[in-house]
């Protein structure tokens, strides 16, 4: 599970500024937790957290394996990941966004709409990008449109307002 994106080095001592990809930063970014860096071509592919502090809407992180700015710069653009079993258990109406990819989307009457191909985070609203008849449809992922998410059937039921799907 991707929990953060390393944006840039910060200072001279190896800190990095990360963009959060989790709603639980206080539970995820704890001292001595080991993160994977899945796409790292060179250098350590596992990083041990020494400290975290809030900074400008993100977090500044220090890792045991990174001692200076050069090492921190080598991490720019990399994802930080954890095994799913190290994250908290989701409640009934919570979802990992990447898990929604591949779900079929149907109207309330069962009529197929499309398949979730991506999820967009716009700040205010999550949008599902649906592959539908060779085009992409954007559907708000919120209670105003989504009436049910069936994890077992991997299906999302929507009640779209008039015109939403006729773009």
Q: Is residue 153 part of a domain?
A: yes
What are the tens digits of pLDDT across the range 25-82? Answer: 888 999 999 999 987 767 788 999 999 999 887 899 999 999 999 999 999 999 999 9
Which of 65, 85, 105 is the endpoint of a domain?
Answer: 85
Q: What is the pLDDT of residue 130?
A: 94
Q: What is the pLDDT of residue 119?
A: 86
Q: What is the CATH number of the domain that holds 117?
A: 2.30.30.240
Q: Is residue 20 part of a domain?
A: yes
Confidence category of residue 126, pLDDT binned at 50, 70, 90: confident
Mapping DSSP onto H, E and C, the string for the chain reads CEEEEEEEEECCCCEEEEEECCCCHHHHCCCCCEEECCCCCCCCCEEEEEEEEEECCEEEEEECCCCCHHHHHCCCCCEEECCHHHCCCCCCCCCCHHHHCCCEEEECCCCEEEEEEEEEECCCCEEEEEEECCEEEEEECCCCCEEEEECCCCEEEECCCCCCCCC
Domain, as residue range, for 20:
2-85
Total domains in the chain come to: 2
CB 18 within 8 A of CB 25: no
Q: What is the CATH number of the domain that holds 42?
A: 2.40.30.60
Q: What is the pLDDT of residue 41?
A: 64
């Amino acid at each position: 599970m991707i929990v953060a994106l390393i944006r840039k080095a910060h200072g001279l001592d190896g800190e990095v500024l990360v963009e959060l990809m989790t709603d639980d930063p206080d539970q995820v970014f704890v001292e001595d937790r080991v993160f994977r860096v899945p796409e790292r071509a060179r250098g350590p592919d596992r990083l041990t957290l020494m400290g975290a502090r809030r900074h400008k809407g993100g977090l500044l992180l220090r890792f045991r394996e990174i001692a200076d700015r050069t090492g921190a710069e080598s991490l720019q653009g990399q994802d930080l990941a954890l095994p799913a079993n190290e994250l908290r258990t989701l409640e009934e109406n919570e979802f990992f966004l990447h898990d929604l990819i591949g779900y079929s989307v149907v109207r309330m009457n069962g009529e197929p709409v499309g398949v979730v191909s991506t999820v967009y985070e716009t700040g205010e609203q999550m949008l599902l990008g649906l592959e539908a008849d060779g085009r992409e449809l954007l559907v708000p992922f919120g209670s105003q449109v989504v009436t049910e998410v069936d994890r077992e059937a991997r299906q999302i039921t929507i009640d779209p307002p008039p015109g939403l799907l006729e773009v």
